[in-house]
């Protein structure tokens, strides 16, 4: 009841702000001019990915509508690194925004890039590079997508990797249990990319699906090195997202993640390009790591915390607006103008955060959308991503 009331209150505030002109006055204020609206996307749907997960994927039509809005309303799309530098210097143009795409899915090149080219809109792609090298699907994403496609299939037992596994697909909680059981088949042994792909094929076969047809050559995969090299540098900047999509607490492990990420990206980026901007995997960030990040060479780091990027905040805790299929046109306008920063939230009115279904796990790659897990001293995104490998 309280959640529904909060949603209605937000909607009423937004309509009132638009009707009275508050939205446009905030948009053109000096306060807004000193801030940068960084917009976060992940995947752009080729087929039905947005129906499977409407927080991870948007449709091409959705992205086109956003780019059309930004152009029509006079927003200035800046390259992210330029925008962050001008944010610090206080030289941002009015209505400044920057576009970001997390993870580096192959659909960025095929589905997003043509739209960015059409609108001459620069974007930064934060690429997690482990699967850019092996070319295989992100296992847990691909598995969940297959299970979703089998959501009408009754529960059944299947022989996977020599063990009997119960496959349930009827709802999110059931699919979570199944993912746990299937992933258990990989634990305790050094599974190769081919082993993981074979397990996906076996799961699909047991559910009367064709994994090869559903996953194709590009679904749930990260851009290859060749694809990354082919991206136009005039429109796309490649930056850090860690190698294995995780932020280890141990300093040596975190440094290795960054080193590996930069090494692989370095094979695709012109030598004169700087790689010094990090997007935290799933928004997970720990202040205890900030000294290491600075010493390593990270100048700016982006979270999934909602809001406008401000020169008053730590450059290693840059805020972003995450645009999803569930964000209305009215809300998107309020995000860009800055009005949305004044909206009430669960935290500001003392409501508990919604429980995840199922409870999220600690690994940044392995959380379903919902409330974040919290490590001591760690701040994470309010909206977590779906499970990944």
Residue 359 has pLDDT above 70, yes or no: no
pLDDT score, position 360:
35
Residue with tokens 């996906």: 200
163-218 residue pLDDT tens: 899 999 999 999 999 999 999 888 877 888 889 999 999 999 999 999 999 998 89
User: Is 330 in a helix, a strand, or coil?
Assistant: helix
User: Which of 380 and 80 is assigned the larger pLDDT?
Assistant: 80
Render 89-137 in DSSP notation, one character per residue. Answer: HT-PPTTEEEEEEEETBTHIIIIIHHHHHHHT--EEEEE--HHHHH---
Residue 13 confidence class, pLDDT cut points 50, 70, 90: confident
Query: What contacts 3, CB < 8 A, 6 or more positions away?
Result: 351, 354
pLDDT score, position 1:
66
256-295 residue pLDDT tens: 999 999 999 999 998 778 999 999 999 999 999 999 999 9
pLDDT score, position 251:
97
Residue 388's φ and ψ, nearest 5 degrees, are -145, 170
DSSP single-letter state for residue 45:
-
pLDDT score, position 63:
99
Tell me the average pLDDT of the chain: 88
> Which residues are bridge partners to 159 per DSSP?
164
Q: How far apart are CA 154 and CA 197, in angstroms?
A: 23
Q: Is the peptide bond before 358 cis (omega within 30 degrees of 0)?
A: yes
Q: Per-residue pLDDT averaged across 241-266, rounded?
A: 97
pLDDT score, position 366:
45
Identify the weakest region by mean pLDDT among 36-50, 284-298, 366-380: 366-380
Cβ proximity of 339 and 251 under 8 Å? no
Residue 293's φ and ψ, nearest 5 degrees, are -60, -45
Residue 165's φ and ψ, nearest 5 degrees, are -130, 135
> Which residues are bridge partners to 172 per DSSP?
none
pLDDT score, position 147:
98
Residue 15 has pLDDT above 80, yes or no: no
User: Which of 357 and 190 is assigned the larger pLDDT?
Assistant: 190
Highest mean pLDDT among 6-20, 112-126, 355-369: 112-126
Residue 74 has pLDDT above 90, yes or no: yes
Residue 347 has pLDDT above 60, yes or no: no
Residue with tokens 């990944």: 388
pLDDT score, position 217:
83
Q: How far apart are CA 319 and CA 162, in angstroms?
A: 47
pLDDT score, position 207:
97
Identify the weakest region by mean pLDDT among 126-140, 302-316, 344-358: 344-358
Residue 146 has pLDDT above 90, yes or no: yes
SS (H, E, C) the chain: CHHHHHHHHHHHHHHHHHHHCHHHHHHCCHHHHCCEEEEEECEECCCCHHHHCCCCEECHHHHHHHHHHHHHCCCEECCHHHHHHHHHHCCCCCCEEEEEEEECECHHHHHHHHHHHHHCCCEEEEECCHHHHHCCCCHHHHHHHHHHHCCCCCCEEEEECCEEEEECCCCHHHHHHHHHHHHHCCCCCCCCHHHHHHHHHHHHHHCCCCHHHHHCCCCCCECCHHHHHHCCCCCEEEEECCCCCCCCCCHHHHHHHHHHHHHHHHCCCCCCCCCCEEECHHHCECHHHHHHHHHHCCCEEECCCCCCECCCCCCCCECCEECCCCCCHHHHHHHHHCHHHHCCCHHHHCCCCCCCCCCCCCCHHHCCCCCCCCCCCCECCCCCCCCCC
Residue 22 confidence class, pLDDT cut points 50, 70, 90: confident
Render 197-247 in DSSP notation, one character per residue. Answer: HHHHHHHHHHTT--HHHHHTTTTT-BPPHHHHHHS-TTTEEEEE--SSS--
Classify domain 36-134+226-329 at the CATH class level: alpha beta
pLDDT score, position 389:
39
pLDDT score, position 2:
64
Residue 377 confidence class, pLDDT cut points 50, 70, 90: very low
pLDDT score, position 357:
40
pLDDT score, position 372:
33
What is the residue extent of each domain of the chain? 36-134+226-329, 139-215
Residue 28's φ and ψ, nearest 5 degrees, are -100, 15
User: Which of 349 and 360 is assigned the larger pLDDT?
Assistant: 349
> Which residues are bridge partners to 39 per DSSP?
99, 321
Query: What is the share, in percent, of the chain residues with pLDDT greater than 90?
Result: 75
292-338 residue pLDDT tens: 999 999 999 999 999 999 999 999 999 999 999 999 999 999 999 99
pLDDT score, position 12:
75
Residue 384 has pLDDT above 80, yes or no: no
pLDDT score, position 312:
95
Residue 6 has pLDDT above 70, yes or no: no
């Amino acid at each position: 009841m309280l959640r529904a009331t909060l949603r209605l209150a937000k909607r009423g505030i937004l309509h009132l702000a638009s009707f009275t002109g508050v939205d446009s006055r905030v948009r053109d204020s000096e306060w807004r001019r000193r801030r940068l609206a960084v917009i976060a996307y992940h995947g752009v749907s080729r087929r039905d990915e947005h129906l499977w997960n409407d927080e991870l994927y948007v449709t091409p039509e959705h992205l086109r509508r956003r780019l059309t809005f930004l152009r029509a309303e006079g927003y200035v799309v800046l390259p992210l690194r330029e925008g962050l530098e001008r944010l610090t210097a206080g030289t941002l143009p009015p209505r400044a925004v920057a576009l970001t795409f997390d993870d580096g899915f192959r659909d960025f090149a095929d589905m997003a890039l043509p739209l960015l080219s059409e609108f001459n809109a620069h974007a930064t792609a934060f690429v997690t590079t482990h699967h850019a090298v092996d070319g295989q699907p992100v296992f847990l994403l691909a598995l969940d997508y297959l299970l979703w496609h089998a959501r009408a299939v009754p529960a059944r037992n299947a022989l996977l990797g020599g063990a009997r596994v119960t496959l349930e697909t009827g709802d999110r909680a059931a699919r979570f249990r199944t993912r746990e059981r299937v992933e258990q088949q990989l634990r305790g042994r050094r599974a190769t990319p081919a082993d993981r792909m074979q397990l996906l094929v076996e799961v699909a076969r047991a559910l009367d699906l064709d994994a090869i047809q559903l996953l194709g050559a590009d679904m749930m995969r990260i851009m290859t090195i060749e694809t990354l090299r082919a991206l136009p540098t005039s429109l796309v900047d490649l930056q850090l997202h860690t190698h294995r999509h995780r932020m280890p607490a141990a300093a040596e492990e975190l440094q290795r993640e960054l080193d590996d990420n930069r090494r692989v990206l370095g094979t695709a980026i012109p030598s004169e390009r700087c790689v010094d901007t990090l997007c935290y995997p799933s928004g997970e960030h720990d202040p205890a790591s900030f000294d290491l990040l600075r010493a390593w060479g990270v100048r700016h780091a982006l979270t999934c915390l909602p809001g406008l990027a401000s020169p008053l905040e730590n450059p290693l805790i840059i805020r972003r607006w995450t645009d999803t299929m569930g964000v209305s046109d009215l809300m998107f306008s309020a995000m860009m103008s800055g009005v949305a920063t004044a909206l009430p939230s669960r935290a500001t009115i003392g409501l508990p955060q919604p429980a995840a279904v199922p409870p999220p796990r600690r690994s940044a790659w392995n959380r379903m959308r919902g409330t974040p897990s919290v490590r001591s001293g760690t701040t994470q995104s309010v909206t977590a991503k779906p499970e990944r490998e």
